[in-house]
């Protein structure tokens, strides 16, 4: 069993991270349609796995000499279509140019190439007291190589 690893997605040559997710019954409301708040979970998984693919792990950030974490400061979500139980979705995450402690990420969820929902996310690197902190240079350098300019 130790050979089986959880899905973590991957970056493509276009610098877009893609994470496949399946919609389970627990993700839906009584009608079998994905409950609106569950999309936030899918987006979070996409962001976490895109950082993990760059070698940035939340557990290591928390255990560092100067502990850091990420917090979502702002998120604009647009629901375009409904996803349903058993759908296979792909969460796409694109790093945008960052400033200071802020990390900007554009995300969308697709089913069979059609957009289901989109999100523009502003996350902030924070210390244990919740104060914004610039990310360490090595971390910023890792995601800088995957930044896609706006537009």
| Domain range summary for the chain, segments of one domain joined by + | 15-144
The active-site residue, picked from 29, 86, 141, 145, is 29
How many beta carbons lie within 10 A of that of residue 120, not counting itself? 15
How many beta carbons lie within 10 A of that of residue 46, not counting itself? 26
36: Cβ–Cβ under 8 A, 6 or more apart, which residues? 79
Per CATH, the architecture of 15-144 is what?
Roll (3.10)
Task: Enter the pTM of the model.
Answer: 0.92
For 103-126, what is each residue's pLDDT tens digit?
A: 999 999 999 999 999 999 999 999
Q: Is the pLDDT of residue 42 over 80?
A: yes
* DSSP 8-class letter at 14: T
Category of 110 on φ-ψ map: left (φ > 0), alpha (ψ -120 to 50) or beta: beta
Instruction: State yes or no: is 29 an active-site residue.
Output: yes
Q: Is the pLDDT of residue 96 over 80?
A: yes
């Amino acid at each position: 069993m130790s050979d089986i690893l959880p899905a973590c997605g991957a970056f493509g040559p276009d610098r877009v991270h893609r994470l496949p997710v399946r919609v389970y019954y627990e993700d839906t409301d009584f009608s079998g349609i994905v409950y609106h708040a569950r999309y936030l979970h899918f987006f979070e998984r996409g962001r976490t796995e895109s950082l993990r693919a760059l070698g940035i792990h939340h557990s290591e950030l928390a255990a560092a000499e100067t502990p850091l974490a990420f917090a979502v400061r702002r998120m604009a979500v647009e629901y375009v279509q409904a996803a349903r139980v058993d759908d296979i979705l792909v969460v796409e995450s694109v790093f945008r140019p960052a400033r200071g402690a802020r990390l900007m990420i554009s995300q969308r969820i697709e089913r069979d190439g059609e957009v289901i929902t989109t999100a523009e996310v502003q996350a902030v690197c924070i210390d244990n007291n919740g104060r914004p902190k610039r990310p360490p240079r090595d971390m910023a350098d890792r995601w800088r190589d995957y930044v896609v300019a706006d537009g």
